Amino acid sequence: MALLTPGTLLTLAPEEVALSFEVPLAPLLSPANFFRLDVLRNGQPHTVRVVDYQKHFIWGMTAGIIRNLGKQITGE
């Protein structure tokens, strides 16, 4: 996460990042935009946190970090 000046160009490390996209802060501050999703990993069931923004899924640890930051900002 970052606050960027409009027009900032990003250089991605393809071995670490497949895609970057911008999300306004407001949708990330609303708990209503987060949900839990059951997935199978290596044949084992797991529940992960997800936030969906314009068909981009932010999930797992990243979604958890964003949700916890939102709690800090909003005082939840």
Angle, alpha carbons 39-76-68 (nearest 5°): 45
Tell me phi and psi for residue 66, to 5 degrees: -65, -45
Q: Percent of the chain, pLDDT > 70?
A: 100
pLDDT at 22: 87
- Give this prediction's pTM: 0.76
Number of CB atoms found within 10 A of residue 66's CB: 19
pLDDT at 10: 86
| Domain chopping of the chain, boundaries | 30-74
* Residue range 43-68: mean pLDDT, rounded: 93
